[in-house]
Structure 1
Amino acid sequence: MNPVRNTSDTEIVLIVDDVPENLSLLHDALDEAGYTVLVATHGEAALARARQSLPDIVLLDAVMPGMDGFEVARRLKADFLTQHIPIVFMTGLTETEHLVAAFAAGGSDYVTKPIRPAEVLARIAAHLHSARQMRQARSALDAFGQGTVAIDRASRRITWQTALARSLLAEWFPQTGGAAPPRLLAWAEQAERARRNGEAPPQWVHADGPRRLLATLHPCGAEDGEEAWLIVLREENDASAIEALVAAFRLTAREAEVLYWVIHGKTNRDIGDILGTSPRTVHKHLEHVFDKLGVETRTAAAAVAMKKIRGVLGQG
């Protein structure tokens, strides 16, 4: 079954506990506070319900028969569909080793039993606020055509990614099954070494005809021991960029093609070879481009055009 994502304004809380009294107490308090409440009484049911409903947060009992809460948390965090969901443990175990185990399993927070509904509501509100801000930040990146992916440097596994990043990786590298492509991982290591040496990190480009997938390694503290690479992916398409130039400056298709290759630093001879025409003809087209853009040099034309199409195509 495909997961049903929560697209309403009502946030979903999944409560996992094998004690009916705890379920009833929490269900009533959360329902009264305006949340949509789901329940599960054992680990297997919790995993199935989490994958299907994708709740906004999970309240998870640490000690249950069969699969305990620590194992449920580990499995939720190992599953790409559910690894982003905050987990708040409910436990009567207050020994340090148990609390450490809860956080090691992927917990974001814990509350102690006996359950105090007011405390639970306060913890949930805080974690949902943080999760909401993270979702908004990821959506904003996607809106600008930049898909973002975080990759754990030790395991080489994707820890989170925006919807656009997931779509780009699935389209360009279907054979990896959603994992990070080996070539991208090798590049990330190279880019990190360059940055540590004070050098400009190389840009990663994966080409397919007129389309290109580009990657940029963004600083996120990796130099200081952070555990993840933060990589921004962006797709470029010659045809889309040329269409944008036509629309932006009222160029002919051929003038837009000439300007496009000027942006990429090509000489008139290079452009003539690409377009199958003479350098003299390219020069004539370029004169018309200068007039329409109100500039006098190739450098100025490239600068004006790059600024415009970055705004149109969401490139940065």
Structure 2
Amino acid sequence: MALSGTAEAVRGFRGRVGIPGLVDVHTHFMPERVLLKVWDYFDAVGPLTGVEWPITYRHEEEERVALLREFGVRAFTSLLYPHKPRMAAWLNSWSAGFAGRTAGCLHTATFFPEDGVEEYVHQAVEGGARVFKAHLQVGGYDPNDERLDAVWGLLAEAGIPTVIHCGSGPAPGKYTGPAPIARLLARHPRLPLVIAHMGMPEYADFLDLADRYPEVRLDTTMAFTDFSDRLGGAYPPADLGRLADLGDRILLGTDFPNIPYPYEHQLVALERLGLGDAWLRAVCHDNGARLFQLEL
């Protein structure tokens, strides 16, 4: 599908649902050399899994930003994450600059369990960071690492959400799954976590945590799509009612640009759940606008 066709399809969705634009809490912008390594990873997934993962929006940074604007995305993130020590502070410096030069980008930061983490997270918060990213699969760390305890306390106190990849899809890690997050929330019950990918494939367990902790939210990234169904991440039909019950705490996420299908497929996948326009308006716009106190 041509990109102009994608923009037209997204505009059609917004018109049907009745929203002026989209708030996408799960998009990726990174330093070029880091993003290229991420793309190399996805390029290698096909031979390993038997399911190819082509990057639909493999474009230069300026073009990717322009595409989001063409799609009507009013606010988005620059989610980035370290896979080793002494990387997070550098990523935070880059993302602060990116947010400063890119209208609509929510200033994003990250962290890693290491000496000095509390200091550079505090600096990021003081510098205006509005959302953090944690990736337990790629980082290979326990969210309950004692070096992060003060960080979680700071973010809970500040009310700054963390988009956290903690489900075991597309591949499990040593510290993925609901159990480490349950332990974390038992210590920091006011921590505003956004569970990436709806916690795929442990959907029910992460919905249980959202039921228990009112500051836990979930993003839709890649959930409900045909591609995730092929990868074994199909959402259980018996739990559709729970999506309606938690409709005020589900947020649109897409994984742009690293998706193997056109952007509008995520929106169509949400629409075909049959939960109604009010639910779609909340998920695709209102919930994110409220979380980040946006005037859109």
Taking structure 2 as the reference length, the TM-score comes to 0.29
Taking structure 1 as the reference length, the TM-score comes to 0.28
Flag the structure with more relative contact order, 1 or 2, with Cα contacts below 8 A and sequence separation at least 6: 2
More strand by share: 1
